[in-house]
Structure 1
């Protein structure tokens, strides 16, 4: 796109931008004649998909800003009015986190909804993502909007959409809403209503204490009982996010009183001053919580990400040191607890994603529990759970993805780091009451099902050139698939883009999941490698899984060393193959 066209687009944007901050940013860019900055903001646009929107905050269609929020909400409102007959009366739940832009954006969402005659049901204060998702189904709303960028750095924000079932949107709704957004005209043509007028006409209501109380009551019902609570001391961090108050109330509801918090990270702070990247998977993000655990002699660290839809955990071992658990280890422990410690039993269901540890499936099948795998993303877990619940009468007990995402029961139809924290604390209490600890439970699982070791590698490739490189890598892996990886023979390839599974002898079967740009290589010796581009970041991700049997006479460490050697070979060899 030539420079003159970019300047024309920027000037048109500037003329209708309602935000003084982004107007000032754009005026400065135009004044400096910074064509690269203009191209970055106006050479593309944020694409609306099943995760809604997420991007850097700033001016232009390729950034998160009030103009984008207003247009997106106008498209959403039009789609709801067309497809949900009683959308006006049921309304739309609006939640928001503590990031830059979130507070103003939530008012823009409410103004556009009210302008279309749709009741805006707005949280009166910042709200965790799981509470917003819960409110959609609890209140019978037609949909929901959560203004958040979850665990992204401080420069980001986002816009997540829920359907009336309380789950994130999936096809065809994502495409339909995107098309409706494309049909939105100039900003001045979008009907918006002031807050005072909306309240006067009954088109804006506040959500707060009653919704929170209802959520906590559902969380409290998840308890499986058991002792040991007096033996568990907890160090908790909200990571500068919005989950702190709700998490403490949930832990209290489960009977945990000995809880210490990282004060420096307890209140929402859009600058995230103590963590550069507030994703609890990133190295260093738990440092303050681990320091607090040492200061207070806590044996359990619980950490939510900024919008509290994820949970990270560290536990104290017999060696006296704190051990940070992986998402797969947390998922396996929760699955075992919710399946084997549950006195209700019955027809139960566990769902994970294709990139999460296969160990959870083994745990489920050993107890006769239904088990399914879906594509990456909690939207697929939640929607598939509801389909199976309706079709079979099964009881959903756990949804899990390796990136620290867990949904216990059906409290909300999305990741819920708050309820997961309370349930994990109860798991730790049970382990203590049995005279052991969480790591003892994990070792017992490894000795029973084999030591499962997982690793993820991500390679960032920003911009159009990076996107093209990622596409070339996936195309090459399809056209020239490896016969061996890390010395292990490839015995099958699952291509979720073509929807086919091919065995080593050439026989093919159809995959039942929706089409997605994912390749899975199944290897001899119960190992696998999966490659997929990220849906929310400019990177390609590789997932490695191995299973190492543990002999009764050997230490767990010996099996772990063998597993590490195998996964090192897989990761090194595959990275070289992918980059060649």
Structure 2
């Protein structure tokens, strides 16, 4: 069916509510908008759904939520009455329609005889992961678009371990969604009926209390400077209540919250793009930090699974730490403390993504802790924690990726900015007792292990043509990759689509034990490397560059050389 036919079907079908049809009526003369909304179905995968809010098959709306949830319900029903009774935990963030989408999902499940545990209000994504395990639920849903702009929303599915689904469950759900012929075939139970039949249960305070206690139990040291001055911004998201509560109960005395970004705001009026990876999001925090003479600034994204920080330097200005640097500092702090406590397991491991830097790995190695690489995304990182639990191969300690996501311990099987914020503040407060800042600690790490530098950048290519060009770039670079870059020679080519690693010198190719993904990694003879992959949630191709040098200047020079060469090659592919 072509996109215009689909558009007319939605426009003229009285099953769709009047608001939806009025919205579609308003674009009747905009061919490009109609095409973008209806040229495809919003794809469901291991990352769930994510897209712009609006009417249409390629948009986030209650009809897409209904059919997706029906697909999940069919998968659960196939697992029997016990799975249905275990139920599904559902959380949501501050975005437009998040509460409506979450309730729609709950009532679709109820209509299918599956119990739904729905949070009474906004909650951070990591609490949803914790809740699945706490309630022994079969699955979980969180309605969020994480750090995307205000006109986006999303829907992520979790399985019984508390981690996001992998391809096996995602494919089952996709198949079931494909069997739904009409949106009107999906039924929704009345809310009162669902409550009366105990197929809907509203949850809140008791789970909150348990989650906060669990986070506090992750604390490693109490003998720290509790008077350290910290500015916190939740960026108008879900982190405000849990992060402040944890820090308060840990007796930090000087926590200052950015007032303009304290309360929920689905329009993110003060920040626009609510992603702590973008340093523009720290504008208000820096201003308050200077006013309060704060030692540390921390920011969490809207669903509070990512965190970044800035640290006051010797000049009184604030310097940002990136995701790899924060990960290295946390690994250093955790393992340093646990070595003192003699509590590092004999088979301990950290897990990182294939596009995360190697500094954390060399720190872990110095404590005889293994590092395991996996594909990008915490579904894969915490998938390893699940695997370790089944096989006893390793004892999972810490997982992280360069995109400012971290998890410590195994109670939460997703990135957790609540616990990571607490540990960052605790580390800063501990090192302050030694008259050191986190910047000083990073410099000492560099001095010991080498100077690591990095750069991540993206080519944004929107629409159908953009997606097609991204695929051409990946295809053509895969066969025409660079063999040398300004004095550095390629030694290994890892093709995650082919699941192989090629030794450039010998020509030998060996398999790798990492699931298939459309990504490439190129390792040079000076320990520098770069990786290329399409984003799984946004219309962009991502390029990750890492280098190691005897000085920061040398490492940064290598980054520039790689960027120039790789971008020249990619831009030549039309």
Cα distance per residue 1:467-515 (max 9 Å; x no partner): 1111111111111121112431111100000011011221111111001
Aligned pairs for 1:170-569 within 5 A: 170-342=166-338, 343=341, 344-347=343-346, 348-392=348-392, 394-505=394-505, 506-549=507-550, 559-569=551-561
The CA distance in 2 between the partners of 1:135 and 1:486, in whole Å, is: 51
Structure 2 SS opposite 1:15 = coil
Question: 4+ runs of 1 displaced by more than 6 Å?
Answer: none
Aligned pairs for 1:61-100 within 5 A: 61-83=57-79, 85-100=81-96
Structure 1 residues 297 and 7: alpha-carbon distance in aligned structure 2, compared to 1, 3 A threshold: closer
Asked whether the 8 Å contact 1:220–1:250 carries over to 2, the reply is yes
Residue in 2 that maps onto 1:27: 25
Structure 2 SS opposite 1:165 = coil
The CA distance in 2 between the partners of 1:245 and 1:488, in whole Å, is: 49
Residue in 2 that maps onto 1:552: none
Asked whether the 8 Å contact 1:41–1:60 carries over to 2, the reply is yes
Structure 1 residues 265 and 158: alpha-carbon distance in aligned structure 2, compared to 1, 3 A threshold: same
The CA distance in 2 between the partners of 1:360 and 1:3, in whole Å, is: 48
Cα distance per residue 1:427-464 (max 9 Å; x no partner): 11111111211111111110111011111010001111
- The RMSD of aligned alpha carbons is 1.4
The CA distance in 2 between the partners of 1:429 and 1:3, in whole Å, is: 57
Instruction: Extract unaligned runs of 5+ from structure 2.
Output: none
The CA distance in 2 between the partners of 1:3 and 1:278, in whole Å, is: 32
Residue in 1 that maps onto 2:562: 570
Asked whether the 8 Å contact 1:254–1:426 carries over to 2, the reply is no
The CA distance in 1 between the partners of 2:61 and 2:75, in whole Å, is: 21
The CA distance in 2 between the partners of 1:363 and 1:253, in whole Å, is: 31
Structure 1 residues 230 and 11: alpha-carbon distance in aligned structure 2, compared to 1, 3 A threshold: closer
Give the CA deviation at 1:187: 2.9
The CA distance in 1 between the partners of 2:21 and 2:288, in whole Å, is: 43
Give the CA deviation at 1:393: 6.4
Asked whether the 8 Å contact 1:229–1:255 carries over to 2, the reply is no
The CA distance in 2 between the partners of 1:3 and 1:229, in whole Å, is: 61
Residue in 2 that maps onto 1:556: none
Asked whether the 8 Å contact 2:364–2:370 carries over to 1, the reply is yes
Structure 2 SS opposite 1:350 = strand
Counterpart check, 1:115 vs 2:111: yes
Give the CA deviation at 1:6: 4.1
Cα distance per residue 1:507-527 (max 9 Å; x no partner): 111111001111111001110
Structure 1 residues 263 and 53: alpha-carbon distance in aligned structure 2, compared to 1, 3 A threshold: same
Structure 2 SS opposite 1:198 = helix
The CA distance in 2 between the partners of 1:152 and 1:482, in whole Å, is: 33
Give the CA deviation at 1:9: 3.0
Cα distance per residue 1:42-86 (max 9 Å; x no partner): 111110000100000000110000110111111111111113551
Counterpart check, 1:143 vs 2:149: no
Give the CA deviation at 1:563: 1.4
Asked whether the 8 Å contact 2:106–2:200 carries over to 1, the reply is yes
279-288 or 339-348: which moved more? 339-348
The CA distance in 2 between the partners of 1:72 and 1:253, in whole Å, is: 39
Structure 1 SS opposite 2:26 = helix
Asked whether the 8 Å contact 2:233–2:258 carries over to 1, the reply is yes
Structure 1 residues 2 and 407: alpha-carbon distance in aligned structure 2, compared to 1, 3 A threshold: closer
Give the CA deviation at 1:113: 0.6
Structure 1 residues 4 and 23: alpha-carbon distance in aligned structure 2, compared to 1, 3 A threshold: closer
Counterpart check, 1:52 vs 2:48: yes
Asked whether the 8 Å contact 1:486–1:571 carries over to 2, the reply is no
Instruction: Extract unaligned runs of 5+ from structure 1.
Output: 550-558
Cα distance per residue 1:503-559 (max 9 Å; x no partner): 12211111110011111110011100101011011100000000112xxxxxxxxx1
The CA distance in 2 between the partners of 1:299 and 1:435, in whole Å, is: 12
The CA distance in 2 between the partners of 1:455 and 1:366, in whole Å, is: 25
Asked whether the 8 Å contact 2:494–2:520 carries over to 1, the reply is yes
The CA distance in 2 between the partners of 1:509 and 1:200, in whole Å, is: 59
162-171 or 184-193: which moved more? 184-193
Structure 1 residues 128 and 7: alpha-carbon distance in aligned structure 2, compared to 1, 3 A threshold: closer
